[in-house]
């Protein structure tokens, strides 16, 4: 990509996934991005999606999109079992890849994806959006004032009264399950707060249709730090974390996506209780603009690949612990 300040990154989306509507809209609203193509397994679905979402090109298969020489970056919102295959194919075509979470079905695949992107000189980032919200660096500044960090607690759940067996999240063959779908965010929050990977983990899970429907875990870190987390498809909507130190704690009750787009919030509790508010910030637009800037500047950011692979590595350890009922060392 040339260094022209007016450059616009040309994006393609692989599949007509639900989340593609939100991210496609973000691409349309980003100052440095343009959505030029959509692909689907079905030509008819691709054509009608393109019409509905104002996209000039529609492909009836994924290969044609990733081979399109006019495309710079590809957004991959496929089921998790397909992330590795299509990220590697896209990287081998010289495309930068924004791949949805969980990055892959397991950490072996995640490392293969990282290697393919590195060897082809393209960016790899996962689709965790909350880290791109303006609130996130603000919260980070306050973590330094909490004293010696002791504990992070994180939860992300929603409730299905009836199991939707057709949903990708309920299908083991597509790498479904609550850990990859929801717990991945909790793991990221814990790694973000402690800036380190755990030394060992323990998890317990309840399974339905061969995927984890809920999972609760303990993660041990150096320096007497500990984290707990839970995720699941069987409890009301919860999306919060608490970061506690020896002097104070930081609470964010809607970390994955702020309840209000116009203004987001978090609290510091200690000797005083203070509420902090951040003005309007649309995390999916921030994510697309940040990624597009990387492509335009040609300076790859290895942090995003590293943290995504680390998140998968911790998720793998948690999955193994839940399956074996044993503490797993990392």
Residue 268, SS3? Answer: strand
Quick note: the x/- pattern for ligand NAP over 164-183, rule CB under 6 A, is ----x-----x------x--
Is residue 285 a contact partner of residue 30, using CB atoms and an 8 Å limit? yes
CA-closest candidate to residue 109, choices 122, 126, 130: 126
Distance of closest approach, residue 248 Cβ to ligand NAP, in angstroms: 30
Q: Pick the piece of the chain touching ligand NAP (CB under 6 A) from 73-81, 154-162, 204-212, 220-228.
A: 73-81
Which residue among 78, 105, 152, 315 contacts ligand NAP (CB under 6 A)? Answer: 78
Quick note: the x/- pattern for ligand NAP over 24-63, rule CB under 6 A, is ----------------xxx--x------------------
Distance of closest approach, residue 135 Cβ to ligand NAP, in angstroms: 16
Q: What single DSSP character describes residue 100?
A: P
Which residue among 1, 7, 8, 19 contacts ligand NAP (CB under 6 A)? Answer: 19
Distance of closest approach, residue 22 Cβ to ligand NAP, in angstroms: 7
Tell me how far CA of residue 77 lies from CA of 4, 87, 120, 159, in angstroms.
29, 11, 21, 22
Helix 107-120 to helix 83-92 angle, to the nearest 10 degrees? 10
> In the chain, what is the straight-line distance between the N-terminal and C-terminal CA atoms, in Å?
39
Distance of closest approach, residue 35 Cβ to ligand NAP, in angstroms: 15
**Residue 18 within binding range of ligand NAP, rule CB under 6 A:** yes
Looking at the Cβ atoms of 13 and 248, the one nearer to ligand NAP is 13
Q: Pick the piece of the chain touching ligand NAP (CB under 6 A) from 13-21, 117-125, 193-201, 241-249.
A: 13-21
Which residue among 10, 89, 101, 239 contacts ligand NAP (CB under 6 A)? Answer: 101
Looking at the Cβ atoms of 190 and 268, the one nearer to ligand NAP is 190
Looking at the Cβ atoms of 61 and 93, the one nearer to ligand NAP is 61
CA–CA dist 176, 319 (Å, integer) = 12
Concatenated DSSP letters of 152-210: EEEEEEEE-SS--TTSGGG-GGGT-SHIIIIIHHHHHHHHHHHSS--SEEEEEEEEETT
Looking at the Cβ atoms of 77 and 245, the one nearer to ligand NAP is 77
Is residue 91 a contact partner of residue 114, using CB atoms and an 8 Å limit? no
**Residue 77 within binding range of ligand NAP, rule CB under 6 A:** yes
**Residue 12 within binding range of ligand NAP, rule CB under 6 A:** no
Looking at the Cβ atoms of 285 and 328, the one nearer to ligand NAP is 285
CA-closest candidate to residue 319, choices 149, 209, 205: 205
Residue 57, SS3? Answer: strand
Where in 111-140 is the site for ligand NAP (CB under 6 A)? 127, 129
**Residue 272 within binding range of ligand NAP, rule CB under 6 A:** no
Based on the number of CB atoms within 10 Å of its own CB, is 86 exposed (0-12), middle (13-18) or buried (19 or more)? buried
Q: What are the residues binding ligand NAP (CB under 6 A)?
A: 15-19, 40-42, 45, 77-80, 100-101, 127, 129, 168, 174, 181
């Amino acid at each position: 990509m040339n260094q022209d300040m007016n450059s616009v990154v040309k994006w393609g989306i692989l599949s007509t996934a639900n989340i593609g509507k939100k991210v496609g809209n973000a691409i349309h609203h980003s100052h440095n991005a343009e959505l030029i193509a959509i692909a689907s397994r079905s030509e008819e679905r691709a054509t009608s999606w393109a019409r509905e979402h104002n996209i000039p090109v529609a492909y009836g298969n994924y290969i044609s999109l990733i081979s399109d020489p006019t495309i710079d970056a590809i957004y991959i919102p496929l089921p998790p079992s397909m992330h590795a295959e299509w990220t590697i194919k896209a990287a081998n075509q010289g495309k930068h890849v924004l791949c949805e979470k969980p990055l892959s079905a397991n950490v072996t695949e995640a490392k293969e994806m990282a290697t393919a992107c590195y060897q082809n000189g393209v960016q790899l980032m996962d689709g965790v959006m909350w880290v791109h919200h303006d609130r996130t660096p603000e919260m980070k500044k306050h973590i330094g004032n909490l004293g010696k960090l002791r504990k992070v607690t994180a939860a992300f759940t929603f409730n299905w009264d009836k199991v939707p067996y057709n949903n990708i999240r309920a299908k083991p063959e597509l790498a479904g399950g609550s850990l990859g779908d929801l717990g991945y965010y909790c793991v990221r929050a814990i790694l973000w707060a402690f800036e380190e990977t755990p030394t060992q983990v323990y998890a317990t899970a309840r399974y339905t249709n061969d995927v984890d429907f809920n999972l609760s875990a303990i993660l041990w870190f150096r320096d007497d730090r500990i984290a707990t987390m839970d995720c699941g498809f069987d409890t009301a909507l919860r999306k919060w974390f608490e970061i506690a130190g020896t002097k104070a704690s930081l609470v964010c009750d809607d970390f994955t996506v702020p309840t209000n787009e116009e203004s987001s919030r978090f609290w510091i509790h200690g000797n005083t209780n203070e509420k902090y508010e951040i003005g309007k910030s649309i995390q999916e637009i921030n994510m697309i603009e940040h990624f597009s800037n990387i492509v335009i500047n040609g300076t790859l950011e290895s942090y995003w690949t590293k943290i995504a692979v680390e998140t998968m590595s911790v998720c793998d350890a948690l999955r193994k612990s839940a399956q074996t009922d044993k503490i797993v060392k990392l």
